[in-house]
Amino acid sequence: MTIDTIIIVLLLLAVIALIAAMLIKNGNGKASAEAVREEYERRMTEMERRFTERDRQNAEASEARFKALAEESLRIQSNQIRRTNSEQMEALLSPMRQRLEEFNRACTDSYVAENAARKSLADQIERLMELNRTIGDEARNLTSALKNDSRQQGRWGEIILETMLEKAGLKRDINFSSQLTRDSSGNTLRDDDSGRGLRPDVVVFLPDDHCLIIDSKVSLNAYTDFCGTDDETNRQMAGKRHLESVRRHIKELADKQYQRMVKNSAEHVLMFIPNEGAYITAVGLDPDLWDYAYQRKVCIVAPAHLFSVMQLINQMWNSEQRNNNADNIAKLGGLLYDKFVGFANELQRIEKSLDDARNAYDACYRSLTRGGTSLVSRAERLRALGVKNAKILGEKIREESECSIQES
């Protein structure tokens, strides 16, 4: 029971005692009853007021206590929730933080590697650009040199020709010879009419002592003019000059008649045009050009044609080599068989000699140990008679000799 409740009860008892005292003092009169009623109402009003005030104070106190308890509970729950959330967030964010750190490291490494690769690529591009400039300068210099010097053009064509032969698998001085000046007999190659020495660019050797002559002819001046102009009139004129140059080369090569000077050479000479475009342009300008050359014992070939022909020749040499190997194998096989037969015969003779030696040995051994007149028997009798000896025959020989005497 609270203090406020005790106070209210005491006030109520006091009111009751006061009413009782007033009734005893004043009796049962009407005025007294009215006064008692008024006093009672006044006391009751005061009590209600005090009860109301008490309820208000209790409500305020309860509300204050509730607020305090609520705030405390909220604070505790907030702290708990904060800790729980912090732990949960830490559990959730820790792997993410680790992944972010790994991603950051990977990005950093990738950035560093990319920078290095970019720098390396830039260096490679710079070197490539420098190389392209160098190649461009060299190409321009080569073009200028070839256009202005027919001798250089010829040497350039010879280099391309020899390179293609080697790429096709042919071997220099074995399958082909460059700048040949003498035939297989050692005679100098000369033009019958002028007596001038001949020197074909390449002589390709074929199986069975045959050969194929190839001569390189370069026509670049008019061809470069043909490719480098957009004016149709100039283009036609340049094409005409280019065709005339090719025809002139065909005639010059036909007049040399290499096939007559080189023994066992093919009937036609190959005229090699090292520039594929120059060949296609010439044939395109004059479809009868190939027949024009063929009638003069000359076959025009471009790099693609020549490479195919040289590969066929290389296959012919490989086949020839295999055939030669087969013949050599057959010869070696025959010699090996003859050697084997001789060896077997020698073994038989050795066997017969061994048998003869064995028979001779057995005869000698019998003379040594068999019968009473054998050498062993007589030697043992001498020893028994007291001959002075330092050595004694082996037990096996003496036993065989004794057995032979008992059997006889």
Tell me, yes or no, whether 85 and 213 share the same domain: no
Q: For residue range 197-234, what is the model confidence (pLDDT) as tens digits?
A: 677 888 888 888 888 888 888 777 788 888 877 888 88
Do 213 and 228 have their domain in common? yes
The last residue of one of the domains, among 113, 136, 159, is 113
Question: So what's the pLDDT on residue 229?
Answer: 79
The C-alpha angle 293, 222, 284, rounded to 5 degrees, equals 45
Question: Domain total for the chain?
Answer: 3
pLDDT at 14: 63
Task: Please list the alpha-helical segments (H only) found in 257-374.
Answer: 258-261, 276-285, 289-294, 303-369
Closest C-alpha among 212, 214, 213 to residue 272? 214
What 3-state DSSP class applies to 290?
helix
Which phi and psi angles does 274 have, rounded to 5°?
Answer: -65, -20
Q: Are residues 302 and 340 in the same domain?
A: no
CA atoms within 13 A on the CB side of 92: 6
Percent of the chain with pLDDT over 90: 1
286 and 211 in one domain? yes
| Residue 25 structural domain | 3-113
pTM: 0.48
Pairing assessment for the beta strands 269-272 and 210-216 based on DSSP bridges:
parallel
Q: Is residue 137 part of a domain?
A: no
Q: Which residues pair with 204 in a beta bridge?
A: 176, 212
Residues 6+ apart with CB under 8 A from 200: 179, 180, 189, 213, 214, 215, 258, 262, 269
If residue 271 lies in a helix (H) or strand (E), which one and from where to where? Answer: strand 269-272
Average pLDDT, integer, range 367-394: 71
At residue 29 the predicted structure's pLDDT band, cuts being 50, 70 and 90, is very low
181 pLDDT higher than 50: yes
Whether residue 10 is contained in a domain is answered as yes
pLDDT, tens only, 136-177: 555 455 555 555 556 777 788 888 888 888 888 888 888 888
Whether residues 346 and 317 fall in one domain:
no
Shared-domain flag, residues 182 and 285: yes
Task: DSSP letter for 41, please.
Answer: H
Average pLDDT (46-73) is 72
> What was the pLDDT predicted at 12?
62
Shared domain for 164 and 306, answered yes or no, is yes
Residues 314 and 356 in one domain: no
Does 188 share its domain with 82? Answer: no
As a whole number, the mean pLDDT across the chain is 75
Q: Which amino acid appears at position 124 of this protein?
A: Q
